Amino acid sequence: MPKRGPIRTYCILRHIRHTMILIGCADQYQTQGIHGEPHKYLHKSYWGLDVVNCIVAAVCGAGYRVVMTSPNALTGTDRIAEAAGQIDADLFINVQGDEPMLDPASIVKVIDYAKLHPGEIINGFAVMEESEGPANVNIPKCVIASDGRLLYMSRAAVPSFKDETKRPEFYHKQICIYAFTREQLEAFAAADCKAPAEKAEDIEILRFLDMDYKVRMIELPGDTLAVDMPEDVQRVEDAMRAAGVIF
């Protein structure tokens, strides 16, 4: 990210450091958690990056560990699978970097939910606000079974309807926090190609459905202010200013 960019790299990293699950220093295994309290779940956080040196320097300068990955990864999840090969852990939490205002409690909630549903992939969702619009292709919509399993995810407005009187009262959008096991990531990467629906929708979780994995959805706060388009930057930057993150 260029220094003249509207959302400055170091400020985001500093904000994430103070508001999300934090990491141990390079020479320590004691960790900090939310609001400086000891955290009982994670020993380290890693940033899987294939980016220019200035970003790596910013990440390291903020106290994070960096795992460099190949430029040949098909998707972000393939990249996480590659990084997982360098990390000794049983559970891998993927937090998307384009939602810098995400509530740290949501990450803890996903970790707890993964422990309750071993062997299942965990992903977040939230009820869409009317202003977001289900037709917005930048927001994946979720079709969720009555037992909480993901049935499908699409950039289209799903579930759809035949009769206007059956229009859904609300839609569910994806919140980009995931929990994966090592085995799940290895299987995802071993496919070595995108599933047909994944390729069409450009939604990686669909590869897991194609491979017959169960994806368990958990409801999370939806006010994460994702940066999907250039015009979203100002809105997120204003929120970060209001939170005292950037000035």
Rg over alpha carbons for the chain, rounded to the nearest Å, is 18
pLDDT confidence tier of residue 69, bands split at 50, 70 and 90: confident
Under CATH, domain 9-242 is a member of which superfamily?
Answer: Spore Coat Polysaccharide Biosynthesis Protein SpsA; Chain A (3.90.550.10)
For residues 5-31, give the mean pLDDT: 41
Question: pLDDT, tens digit, for every residue of 139-180?
Answer: 999 999 999 999 999 999 999 999 999 999 999 999 999 999
H, E, C per residue of the chain: CCCCCCCCHHHHHHHHHHHCCCCCCCCCCCCCCHHHCCCCCCCCCEEEECCCHHHHHHHHHCCCEEEECCCCCCCHHHHHHHHHCCCCCCEEEEECCCCCCCCHHHHHHHHHHHHHCCCCEEEEEEECCCCCCCCCCCCCEEEECCCCEEEEEECCCCCCCCCHHHCCCCCEEEEEEEEEEHHHHHHHHHCCCCCHHHHHHCCCHHHHHHCCCCEEEEECCCCCCCCCCCCHHHHHHHHHHHCCCCC
Question: pLDDT, tens digit, for every residue of 25-49?
Answer: 223 222 233 333 334 444 566 656 5
Q: Assess contact for 9 and 51: CB atoms under 8 A.
A: no
Question: pLDDT, tens digit, for every residue of 94-107?
Answer: 987 777 777 788 98
